[in-house]
């Protein structure tokens, strides 16, 4: 091995060792355990597809899978909303810093606190219902988290609320990298605001939009922490997501193989959708 | 006129973002009246710190606080050390297997690593790290995002500096520790602050590894209030405020580091 090779691997070794143990091993060993009846108290046996048959017959997991796909509906809202926000704060208006900070604050808030705060907000006698009934947008207070056809959307809203600021900063950074002279040249050519946005800004932002969309799709598929702190899967199991099922079975019911089978299925979804995204959202004008 | 509508729009969105915090704060410092009533109180009523004092009486919040600081500090230190060491060769050295290693690191972003803790708990048990802070910290030390950000930072250092040092006969280690690390110090600060906030906020993994309540970090301990004080919403709100205060302060005072962190991630 050459000197450079040796040095490089020495630099990488500690990090790779930890990644191997805590990132790759869980995927590899977890995938294996998904096909067994592993438990801490007895010998492990290969059971083939039994765990998968079980979870696909299980109403909670099937609902969870469906809900994880419904979560994907959020992606355009998050991305368009975040891009819009970034455009709104991409200027030097007095006090703009404080607005950027305000939009980002939900991102740095721990999810357990988010759960408590939005629990207050969604309360039947809470602030949200007060505002909505006062504005006559709803006739009577709504049980956001206790109604089985609404709770999932309430959770999706909270993840949107938590995610917007993060993507906003990504887009803001990209917007600031768009050369000003391109905009000026377009102004001289008589392009209006709208044309400049679609003809210059959006094409320049294409790589960022691609990365953010993929991250957002993956985040939507993997959502489960908000479920845990807001509804714990209820009411009537209507807010299970694919990973929440894995979390619930693995941690609360100690059914590890089932949990890992669910996580295996979600991995396949994530890989498949990431590949699809990479194929269809290729940068065009390169 | 245009500017006014612009500001109105900004204000409307800011209210949606910040209102839950405000209402929680109002709930925490008010002592009178019903929390859930129409119309709700949007302004403190008989303000006092009584609810905060209740929190200190109900849970060992100082220990939680200390634990959180300890976990965050160790995670930051080890992450900066190991991830910058890993990022350096990926950015500046041509070695066999570089593409493969880089691809593997990227792959961890795609897979649902959120549930790695299911198997990691078995690993931590086998390594007898249950109930230790080492067990809490280790799995969070190396992350793809940190490596990618620092790789980006190393790539921005001019090649001349490295070449000059090589001509002078400096070893790779000297170049890395004496030349490269000081040059990317602002990026180390960025990754450090992002990591500190992440470590502070993490709640599932520490709640699995640590079993004694005294050893919980704040993010886990605060949920204890819901258990012991199921009825007193105001005390829960006060605990919530105490939990987020440090991260909010860290964020507000170091805003530019957060904004830069994302800047690098885009590239």
Taking the C-alpha atoms of residue A171 and residue A24, their distance in angstroms, rounded to an integer, is 31
A221 occurs within a structural domain: yes
Interface test with A, best of B25, B96, B118 (most A CBs within 10 A): B118
Cα B125 from Cα B128, distance rounded (Å) = 5
| Separation between Cα atoms, residue A265 and residue A242, nearest integer Å | 8
- Provide, as residue numbers in chain A, all residues whose Cβ is less than 8 Å from the Cβ of B142: 15, 18-19, 22-23
Task: Find the Cα–Cα–Cα–Cα dihedral A270, A276, A277, A279, rounded to 10°.
Answer: 150
Number of domains chain A is built from: 1
- In A, minimum Cα distance to B3 occurs at A93
Whether A163 and B262 have beta carbons less than 8 Å apart is answered as: no
Burial of B116 (0-12, 13-18, 19+ CB in 10 A): buried
pLDDT tens column, A32-47: 999 999 887 788 889 8
H/E segment holding residue A149 = none
Q: Which residue has the tokens 């768009």?
A: A178
Residue A242: name the closest of A67, A64, A72 by CA: A64
Q: B258 or B242: whose pLDDT is higher?
A: B242
Cis before B39 (ω within 30):
yes
Q: What is the pLDDT of residue A285?
A: 45
Residue given tokens 């295996």 in the structure block? A264
pLDDT band at B40; cut points 50, 70, 90 = confident
Q: Give the per-residue pLDDT at A200.
A: 85
Contact call for A110 and B19, based on CB within 8 A: no
Residue A264 lies in a domain: yes
First-to-last alpha carbon distance for chain B, in angstroms, is 37
Alpha carbon of A219: minimum distance to chain B alpha carbons (Å): 9
In 3D space, the residue among A244, A45, A259, A55 whose CA is nearest the CA of residue B122 turns out to be A259
Interchain CB contacts (distance < 8 Å): A and B: 244
Alpha-carbon distances of A256 from A243, B47, B89, B132, B202, rounded to whole Å: 13, 48, 38, 23, 22
Average pLDDT over residues B160-182: 89
Cα(B151)–Cα(B140) distance, integer angstroms: 18
User: What residues of B are in contact with residue A22 (Cβ under 8 Å)?
Assistant: 116, 120, 123, 138-139, 142
In a domain, A35, yes or no: no
**Is A91 in a helix, a strand, or coil?**
coil
Task: Give domain status of residue A97, yes or no.
Answer: yes
Cβ(B77)–Cβ(B84) under 8 Å? no
Give me the phi and psi of A39, to 5 degrees please: -155, 160
Q: pTM for this structure?
A: 0.89
- The pLDDT tens digits of the residues spanning B97-151 come to 999 999 999 888 888 787 888 899 999 999 999 999 999 999 999 999 899 989 9
Q: Which long-range contacts link B104-109 to residues 24+ away (Cβ below 8 Å)?
A: B104/A19, B104/A24, B105/A19, B105/B144, B105/B147, B105/B148, B106/B144, B108/A19, B108/A23, B108/A24, B108/B143, B108/B144, B109/A215, B109/A218, B109/B144, B109/B145
What is the distance between the alpha carbons of residues B210 and B203, in angstroms, rounded to a whole number?
11
Of B37, B114, B236, nearest to A222 by CB-CB distance is: B114
Task: Yes or no: say if B239 and B68 are a contact pair by the CB < 8 Å rule.
Answer: no
Please determine, for residue B88, whether its predicted confidence score (pLDDT) is greater than 80. Answer: yes
User: Tens-of-pLDDT digits for all 286 residues of chain A?
Assistant: 577 788 999 999 999 999 999 999 999 999 999 999 988 778 888 988 999 999 999 999 999 999 999 999 999 999 999 999 999 999 888 888 889 999 999 998 988 889 989 998 998 888 899 889 888 888 888 889 988 889 999 999 999 999 999 899 889 888 888 888 888 888 888 888 888 888 888 888 888 888 889 889 999 999 999 999 899 988 889 999 999 999 999 988 889 999 999 999 999 999 898 888 877 765 544 4
Residue at A21 is within a domain: no
Residue B210 distance to chain A (closest CA, Å): 14
In a domain, A15, yes or no: no
Contact between chains at A270 and B111 (C-beta distance less than 8 A): yes
Q: How many CB atoms lie within 10 A of CB A25?
A: 16
Token pair, residue A124, equals 């039947």
Query: Is pLDDT above 90 for B255?
Result: no
Does any domain span residue A131? no
pLDDT recorded at residue A23: 92
Picking from A242, A40, A20, A223, the residue whose alpha carbon sits closest to that of residue B121 is A40
Please, where are the H alpha helices in chain A?
Answer: 3-19, 25-33, 50-57, 59-71, 74-89, 96-104, 111-122, 127-134, 151-176, 180-188, 193-196, 202-221, 225-230, 242-247, 256-280
Give me the DSSP letters along B12-70.
HHHHHHHHHHHHHHHHHH--SS-SS-SSPP-S-SS--SHHHHHHHHHS-HHHHHHHHHH
The structural domains of chain B, with segments of one domain joined by +, span 1-48, 57-266
Contact A15 B20 (CB under 8 A): no
Q: Is B248 within 8 Å of A108 when comparing Cβ atoms?
A: yes
pLDDT of res. A36: 92
Written out in words, the top-level CATH class of the domain with range B57-266 is mainly alpha
Beta bridge partners of A36: A46
Q: What is the mean pLDDT of residues B247-252?
A: 88
Q: What sign results for the dihedral spanned by CA atoms B58, B37, A107, A101?
A: negative
CB B239 within 8 A of CB B250: no
**Which CATH number characterizes residue A162's domain?**
1.10.3720.10
**Taking 60 as the threshold, does the pLDDT of residue B91 lie above it?**
yes
Domain of residue A102 covers: 55-109+149-280
d(CA A63, CA A233): 10
Q: Using only C-alpha atoms, what is the Rg of chain B? A: 23
* 8-state DSSP, A46: B
Identify the sign of the CA torsion B184, B186, B192, B197: negative
Considering only CB atoms, which chain A residues are within 8 Å of B89? 7-9, 11-12
Report the candidate in B103, B183, B139, B154 with the shortest Cα–Cα distance to residue A11: B154
CA distance B244 to B241: 5
Reference A82, options A163, A159, A155; nearest CA is A163
Please give the mean pLDDT across all residues of chain B.
87
- Structure confidence at residue B214 (pLDDT): 86
The residue among A160 and B229 whose pLDDT is bigger is A160
Domain assignment of residue A105, yes or no: yes
């Amino acid at each position: 091995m050459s000197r450079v090779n040796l040095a490089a691997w020495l630099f990488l070794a500690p990090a790779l060792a930890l990644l191997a143990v805590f990132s790759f091993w869980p995927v590899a060993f977890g995938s294996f355990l998904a096909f067994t009846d592993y438990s801490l108290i007895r010998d492990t046996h290969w059971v083939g597809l039994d765990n998968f048959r079980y979870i696909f017959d299980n109403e909670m997991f099937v609902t969870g899978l469906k809900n994880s796909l419904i979560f994907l509906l959020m992606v355009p809202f998050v991305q368009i909303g975040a891009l819009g926000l970034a455009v709104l704060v991409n200027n030097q208006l007095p006090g703009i810093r404080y607005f950027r900070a305000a939009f980002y604050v939900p991102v740095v808030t721990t999810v357990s606190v988010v759960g408590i705060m939005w629990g207050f907000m969604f309360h039947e006698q809470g602030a949200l219902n007060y505002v909505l009934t006062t504005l006559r947008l709803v006739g009577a207070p709504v049980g956001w988290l206790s109604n089985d056809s609404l709770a999932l959307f309430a959770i999706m809203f909270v993840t949107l609320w938590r995610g917007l600021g993060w993507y906003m900063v990504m887009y803001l950074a990209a917007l600031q990298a768009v050369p000003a002279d391109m905009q000026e040249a377009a102004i001289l050519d008589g392009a209006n605001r709208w044309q400049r946005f679609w003809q210059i800004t959006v094409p320049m932002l294409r790589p960022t939009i691609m990365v953010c969309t993929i991250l957002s799709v993956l985040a939507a598929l993997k959502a489960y922490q908000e479920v845990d702190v807001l509804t714990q899967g209820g009411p009537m199991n209507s807010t299970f997501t694919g990973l929440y099922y894995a979390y619930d079975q693995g941690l609360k019911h100690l059914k590890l193989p089932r949990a890992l089978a669910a996580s295996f299925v979600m991995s396949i979804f994530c890989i498949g959708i990431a590949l699809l995204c990479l194929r269809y959202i290729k940068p065009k004008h390169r | 006129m245009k500017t006014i509508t612009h500001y109105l729009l900004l204000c409307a969105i800011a209210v949606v973002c910040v209102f839950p915090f405000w209402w929680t704060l109002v709930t925490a410092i008010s002592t009178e009246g019903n929390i859930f009533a129409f119309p709700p109180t949007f302004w403190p009523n008989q303000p006092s710190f009584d609810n905060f004092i209740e929190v200190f009486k109900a849970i060992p919040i100082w220990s939680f606080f200390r634990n959180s600081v300890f976990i965050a500090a160790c995670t930051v230190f080890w992450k900066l050390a190991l991830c910058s060491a890993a990022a350096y060769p990926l950015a500046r050295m041509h070695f066999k297997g570089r593409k493969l290693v880089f691809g593997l690191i990227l792959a961890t972003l795609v897979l649902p690593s959120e549930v790695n803790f299911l198997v990691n708990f078995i690993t931590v048990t086998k390594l007898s790290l249950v109930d230790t802070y080492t067990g809490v910290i280790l799995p969070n030390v190396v992350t793809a995002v940190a490596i990618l950000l620092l790789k980006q930072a190393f790539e921005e250092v001019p090649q001349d500096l490295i070449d000059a040092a090589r001509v002078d006969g400096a070893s790779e280690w000297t170049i890395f520790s004496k030349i490269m690390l000081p040059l990317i110090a602002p990026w180390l600060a960025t990754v450090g602050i992002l990591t500190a906030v992440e470590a502070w906020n993490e709640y599932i993994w520490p709640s699995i590894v640590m079993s004694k309540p005294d050893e919980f970090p704040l993010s886990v301990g605060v949920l204890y209030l819901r258990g012991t004080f199921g009825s007193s919403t105001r005390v829960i709100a006060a605990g919530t405020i105490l939990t987020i205060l440090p991260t909010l302060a860290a964020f507000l005072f170091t805003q530019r580091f957060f904004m830069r962190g994302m800047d690098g991630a885009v590239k």
